[in-house]
Amino acid sequence: MNKVLVTLGSFALLLGCGSEMENTAKKEKPESDTRNITMLKDNNRGIVNNTNSPHVKLKSIDIGDCRWTEGFWADKWRTAEKVMIPYMGTLLKGDIGHGYNNFKIAAGLKEGEHKGFWWHDGDFYKWMEASVYIYAINKDEQIINELDEIIEVIGMAQLEDGYLSTPIIIRDDIKPFSNRRYHELYNSGHLLTSACIHHRVTGKTNFLDIAIKHANYLYDLFTPVPDHLKRFGFNQTQIMGLVELYRTTKDKRYLALAEQFINMRGTYKIDDDETTKGYPIGDMVQERVPLREETEAVGHSVLALYYYAGAADVYAETGEKALLDALDRLWENVTHKKMYVTGAVGQTHYGRSSRLDKIEEGFIDEYMMPNMTAYNETCANICNSMFNYRMLTLSGDSKHGDIMELVLHNSGLSGIGIEGRDYYYSNPLRKIDGALDYENMNVEFPERQPYLKCFCCPPNLVRTIAKSPGWAYSKSENGIAVNLYGGNTLETTLLDGSEIKLSQKSDYPWDGAVQITIEESKSEPFEMLLRIPAWAKGSKINVNSQPVENIVAGSFARIERKWSVGDVVSLEMPMEVKFIEGHPRIEEVRNQVAIKRGPIVYCLESPDLPKETTITDVYISGSKELEPKFQTDLFGGVTTIETEVMIRKDTLTDMYNEVSKPILEPFRTNFIPYYAWSNRGQGEMTVFMPIIWD
């Protein structure tokens, strides 16, 4: 299956835009299979492009319609543009990440062996997708020129029948789709999604042609599904990718295949066979119970949430009530029984499901929420926000926007360092020096890493930051919905085709004041929906200084009127500091509290404690003032929470000790946003801590 090596003379030429490579690529590029392709005439360009989806209440704005201009998300987006994506590209296009090298080897442009995990192609596509989101805003043609060169190579790597997964193409000893642990469909899903985004933003079809040819290969392979393939599709990115390709081309085969991947699950005998050997089975990969009958989130949390997000996309097109009912049940189970206060999911690295299947990196029993060993893979947290964004659009229920926002400000951002170059794979809620044997762990580390061998999380997080402007607003039936807050501008068209321009000013999440100004709008009345987070009880809204009545936290506030240029909507969300306690069944946090202000969860880190103090010696007082303070010189500018804690001075050395009144000394310290932990060297950290009431 190896392709003939094309010698180009120098490695520099392989990386660059040398004419010899370009000419060779043009000669070898496979012809497109554009069977039954019809591009959308209205040219909608949403991230999740649901403008024409019949069962969606909140429709997507186009990529590039919203831009972060100032404040928190503008800073994060700018870091993604200037640091995160360029640095990541250096890794993935070089010999460290080796992602681009794999495509060159598969294309016959370079000698060597495949490096990285089986799913490395998909992670490379995520980086490409992130780059396109950046281009949609800054219009830097160098980004697209570089991607065009990469797309040429990807096209050369693709086999004539449409198959495209470099580990299998490079090796001679493995046949395509012989074992599901090779993650070929995971690679497929990210290929299809990335290609659709590239087409929507650039209008080009070079990447889309590759995706269509590959999707046609998948359709022919899986329709009707043969017995030896019925257990494939467990890492369900291909469902989202196929639905987006259907939305792009209107080829109904892709939607049918997406639904088929849902229908396949839970319909066969669960045992180890040739297609599963070497990879866990059953609940680990959500194959024990059909989705429409499932009542509990089980198994690998990334696999589960990609699955749910894909099913939400299918429902948006089909409107099948059984699918939505299942997704509602699963959302309730995840959110109210298996999700951390930071929006993170995936309680453990190794464990058992409630049905006693072996699972990894995922969900375990309800209310079983360890802090120190919490796995909470960054990808899983991001998938939680992806799922909730889709559920928000389907239902119009602000509770899904609340979870999306919670992840974005906490367990999503915690996966990358403040400077944008160092990563965490797992996101625990407590770290104690010496408690974990990091040398014998696959992905957990005592401090952030400049590269992760399993590189799925960094590009997933970076593409989320890059596309976050597209999540900030949605189009309602006759108006606009504000999903996220922060300094931005919006220029889009409402569903009736009328133009609207808004500007938003806010120091959110450090301040609860938001001001939205109408810059342009139609003369007829329309609605503005403002998401009022569930934590924001007592919020107030004024339009041109006139109060709006009946503002309910945990819902969208609806303002319908005839708008004029210059109208100003002012939202004030109370931002008091609050203690958060867990459900009584969460044994790990009984008699402990976390600190939360607005959407931000806080933690205490050892750099803010006396030397030689371990995090387990700290108690928080329930009667001391919790004082927010904005610190411009810390982590690029954050609001910390200053308060007095009590530090235990008598040492407990035995496993169990007789009870005596502890010796406590007061110490004034600062709690920092959870997402910013581990940016000051190695140290300890905790989100929850025991509380004492004076």
Tell me if residue 256 falls in helix, strand or coil: helix
Reported as a pLDDT band with limits 50, 70 and 90, residue 254 is very high
Where residue 311 falls among pLDDT bands split at 50, 70, 90?
very high
Whether residue 288 is predicted with pLDDT greater than 80 in this model: the reply is yes
| One-letter amino acid for residue 419 of the chain | E
Confidence of residue 464 (pLDDT cuts 50, 70, 90): very high
All residues at 6 or more sequence positions from 521 whose CB lies less than 8 Å from its CB, including other chains: 498, 499, 500, 501, 563, 564, 565
* Residue 269 pLDDT greater than 90, yes or no: no
Q: Give the residue among 405, 548, 409 at the shortest CA–CA distance from 482.
A: 405
Percentage of residues in the chain having pLDDT higher than 90: 83
**Does the pLDDT of residue 39 top 70, yes or no?**
no
- 8 A C-beta contact, residue 459 and residue 126: yes
Mean pLDDT of 1-14: 36
pLDDT of residue 298 exceeding 90, the answer is yes
Give mean pLDDT, residues 430-455: 79
Instruction: Name which of 32-36, 52-56, 599-603 the model is least confident about.
Output: 32-36
Q: CA 420 → CA 79, 458, 461, 676, 687, distances in Å? A: 7, 10, 11, 11, 23
Quote the pLDDT of residue 653: 84
Name the band, by pLDDT with cuts 50, 70 and 90, for residue 19. Answer: very low
Q: What is the overall mean pLDDT for the chain?
A: 92
Helices (H), 96-140: 99-107, 120-138
The pLDDT of residue 441: 63
Higher pLDDT, 11 or 136: 136
Helix (H) or strand (E) holding 604: strand 600-605
- Whole-angstrom CA distances from 403 to 331, 374, 412, 551, 638 are 10, 19, 11, 20, 21
pLDDT value, residue 437: 66
Domains defined for the chain, CATH in brackets? 11-470 (1.50.10.10), 473-572 (2.60.40), 579-692 (no CATH)
How much is the average pLDDT of 271-287? 85
Q: In the predicted model, what is the mean pLDDT of residues 352-373?
A: 94
- Return the DSSP state at 541: E
Is 60 exceeded by the pLDDT of residue 491? Answer: yes
Return the percentage of the chain with pLDDT > 70, whole number: 93
CB 184 within 8 A of CB 177: yes
Give the whole-angstrom CA distance, residue 448 versus residue 269.
42
Q: How far apart are CA 167 and CA 115, in angstroms?
A: 8
Please name the residue that has the structure tokens 């108006």.
479
Rounded CA-CA distance 312/388 in Å is: 10
Each residue of 208-221: pLDDT tens digit?
Answer: 999 999 999 999 99
* 621-643 pLDDT per residue, tens: 999 999 999 999 999 999 999 99
474 has pLDDT over 80: yes
- pLDDT tens-digit map of 160-214: 999 999 999 999 899 999 999 999 999 999 999 999 999 999 999 999 999 999 9
* Residues 185, 190, 194: CA angle, nearest 5 degrees: 150
Q: Please tell me the predicted confidence (pLDDT) of residue 340.
A: 98
Helix axes 457-467, 120-138, angle to 10 degrees: 20
pLDDT at 209: 98
Distances (CA, A) of 600 to 171, 369, 522, 623: 47, 20, 36, 21
Question: Which has the closest alpha carbon to 163: 221, 98, 105, 108?
Answer: 221
Running DSSP on this structure, what letter comes out for residue 231? T
With beta carbons less than 8 A apart as the criterion, state whether 672 and 602 touch.
yes
- Of 144, 673, 633, 679, nearest in space to 420 by CA: 679
Dist. CA 663–CA 454, nearest whole Å: 45
Sequence-separated (6 or more) residues with CB below 8 Å from residue 127: 85, 88, 89, 92, 99, 459, 462, 463
Say whether 501 sits in a helix, a strand or coil: strand
Per-residue model confidence (pLDDT) at position 434: 76
pLDDT value, residue 4: 40
Q: What is the pTM of this model?
A: 0.93
> Which whole number is the average pLDDT over 554-577?
97
For residue 28, pLDDT beyond 70: no
Whether omega before 458 lies within 30 degrees of 0, making that bond cis, reads no
pLDDT at 446: 75
